Amino acid sequence: MRLILILSLAITATLASVACGPPIKNTPVADIPKLATIEEVMDNQATTADPEFKKIDNESYTDADYAAFTTAAERISATSLKTKDVTKGAEFDALAVKLHDQAEALGKAAAAKDAAAAKAALSGMKAACKECHSKFR
């Protein structure tokens, strides 16, 4: 009986932690300009960027990674441009431009299959996200 209680609590805790995470948002790139709130924009950015940030420390990347980087670059470029419509001021906009520039660099690195450039662009994107979150979240 005690084992059942412990398992039940563990499952409940796991489900609760998943439910508290950011919503999964995969708005098509063409529809990103239609997003109405900063929360929608940020949820799309997190859904796109977080899985790619986990690859930063990889020594090399596969063709599937480069394809994912291309998709991420397109989506982050679009969402970072959209933030101008839901701005929090000049400093926020400057960080959005920094993120956009790094996303563009990621797209170029993916097209060239340049692992070092991809790693640098991912690191730059993550740094821009962290800086923005520390100032505006």
**Residue 56, domain CATH:** 1.20.120.10
Q: Structurally, how many domains does the chain consist of?
A: 1
The boundaries of the domain holding residue 41 are: 24-136
Cβ neighbours of residue 62 closer than 8 Å, sequence gap 6 or more: none
Whether residue 6 is contained in a domain is answered as: no
Find the helix or strand (DSSP H, E) in which 69 lies: helix 63-82
Whether residue 94 is contained in a domain is answered as: yes
Percent of the chain clearing pLDDT 70 (strictly above):
83
Characterize 55-91 residue by residue with b for buried, 16 or more Cβ atoms within 10 angstroms of its Cβ, and e for exposed.
eeeeeebeeebbebbbebbbbbbbbbbbbeebeeeee
Whether residue 89 is contained in a domain is answered as: yes
Whether residue 18 is contained in a domain is answered as: no
Q: What is the mean pLDDT of the chain?
A: 88
Quick one: pLDDT band at residue 17, thresholds 50, 70, 90?
A: very low
Whether residue 61 is contained in a domain is answered as: yes
Whether residue 130 is contained in a domain is answered as: yes
Choose between 72 and 22: higher pLDDT. Answer: 72
Whether residue 118 is contained in a domain is answered as: yes
